[in-house]
Structure 1
Amino acid sequence: MSESAGDWMEAVREQYRGRGVGERLAAGRRPGIVVVDLINGFTDPACPPGSDLDAVVERTAELLERARAAGLPVFFTTISYEPRDLDELVWLRKMPALRALTAGSRWVEVDGRLAPRDTEPVIVKKAASAFHGTDLAERLAAAGVNSLIVCGATTSGCIRATVIDACAENYLVRVPRECVGDRAEGPHEANLFDIDAKYADVVGLEEVLDELPGVVMAR
């Protein structure tokens, strides 16, 4: 983060403190992991909407290893379009790079370094939020989840939209900073700041990992 960005963020953070914005939330006792769109189309810079997210994938793999050992449910999302979608969806007109994410292509597959297990659903979505037009909320309820750990890409798009909807669904949300990424630093940092102020707690991965031994999952 640049020094100038850090300066304005701290000034706004101080302003918010006196106005009841940005309170810290407790960690949930029954969390689920939602891995948003860490698919080849986003983690491979050769794809139009892709960028270098190697560090994000590496740290997310670390989180998944620990979460799986603790018995936490894990949910993945992908963006995948059928031919009929290409001319119908406004988002694809605004961001035509996403047209590369066609059903059946390698671009819509979860990055192989994260390798979803057979019990971990890959939920197909066509909009930014993991909740919009999907059965994610029903799956979370069935798994007994009362809080979320959200990771993936991109911070300014699908992460932000998913976190806002999760907050609207009354989930406590943790966003491990090292496990989310974007195509550029400015939007990434600005959106993490805003998410942390209004919708979720943005924390270090180590804090999330330290909390895992205290979770209690329904059996």
Structure 2
Amino acid sequence: MSLHGSETDATYDRAGFGSPVRRGERPAIVVVDLTKGFTDPAYPTGADLTEVVAATSQLVAAAGPAGVPVVYTTIGYTPAELDTVVWLDKAPGMRALAIGSEAVEIDDRLPFTDADHLIVKKGASGFFGTGLASLLASTGADTVIVCGATTSGCVRATVVDALQCGYPVLVPRECVGDRADGPAEANLFDIQAKYGDVVSLDDALAYVGGVK
């Protein structure tokens, strides 16, 4: 059965999923793990996310003039954590994401500056075990725009937790990426149905540009 087949759509419609979120007046952008370890295919965890980086750069560039805060996240592990973080047993390729290595640095093609916030995390969600919820509250954010990688992993986890922290969520399709299309599309379908609105980059740019 097709992911977007009529039977699937009818089932979700009947269940009452897929309504649009309420957009606030003070969005914040969370850029999830667009670090070299994820955007450079030379790393075990990496893939060629050139187009995702370019689209996210457009959105971040629009954020500055609008006064929209931008928060970047990165995953990084200390030597001790390489032997204690259970996730690394399941995904040993992520052991390359060592604190102090280039793998955990924000991709140089992104307009990351000292005016932006940086969260270092150990798990999939940008919220779990970090100060992201408090940071967003301190900025007065009432909506979260989630970009980054990977769609089926850290992006989805961050979207779900943003919703559970009380934030309406937007996910610009061009600004998220994965290692494979199948998992990416399945998770975008789920996000649109249950957790946030999957929107176009143009829509997100117009929304950010309209902030007063």
TM over 0.5: yes
Inter-partner Cα distance in structure 1 for 2:155 and 2:54 = 18
Inter-partner Cα distance in structure 2 for 1:207 and 1:11 = 28
One-letter code aligned to 1:48: P
8 A Cα contact 2:61 2:111, kept in partner: no
Is 1:168 matched with 2:167?
no
Inter-partner Cα distance in structure 2 for 1:7 and 1:17 = 12
Q: Indicate the residue corresponding to 1:205 in structure 2.
A: 201
Inter-partner Cα distance in structure 1 for 2:26 and 2:7 = 35
One-letter code aligned to 1:119: A
One-letter code aligned to 1:89: V
The worse-fitting range, judged by mean Cα deviation, of 152-161 and 19-28 is 19-28
Specify which of 119, 122, 137 is matched with residue 118 of structure 2.
122
User: 1:27-50 CA deviation, whole Å, 9 max, x = no partner?
Assistant: 221100000000000000000000
8 A Cα contact 2:145 2:170, kept in partner: yes
Identity %: 54
Is 1:152 matched with 2:148?
yes
Q: CA deviation at 1:69?
A: 1.8
Query: What TM-score, normalized to structure 2?
Result: 0.96
Q: Indicate the residue corresponding to 2:32 in structure 1.
A: 36
- Match of 2:80, SS state, is helix
One-letter code aligned to 1:125: K
Specify which of 3, 9, 22 is matched with residue 13 of structure 1.
9
8 A Cα contact 1:48 1:100, kept in partner: yes
Q: CA deviation at 1:117?
A: 1.2
Inter-partner Cα distance in structure 1 for 2:24 and 2:211 = 7
Gaps of 5+ in 1: none
8 A Cα contact 1:41 1:49, kept in partner: yes
8 A Cα contact 2:71 2:116, kept in partner: yes
One-letter code aligned to 2:8: V
Inter-partner Cα distance in structure 2 for 1:28 and 1:95 = 37
Matches within 5 A, 1:1-219: 5=2, 7-8=4-5, 10-216=6-212
Q: CA deviation at 1:55?
A: 0.5
One-letter code aligned to 1:111: D
| Distance change (3 Å), C-alpha of 1:105 and 1:6 | same
Inter-partner Cα distance in structure 1 for 2:2 and 2:57 = 29
Number of positions where the alignment pairs a residue of Structure 1 with one of Structure 2:
212
Q: CA deviation at 1:97?
A: 0.5
Inter-partner Cα distance in structure 2 for 1:5 and 1:78 = 34
Inter-partner Cα distance in structure 1 for 2:4 and 2:114 = 46
Query: What TM-score, normalized to structure 1?
Result: 0.93
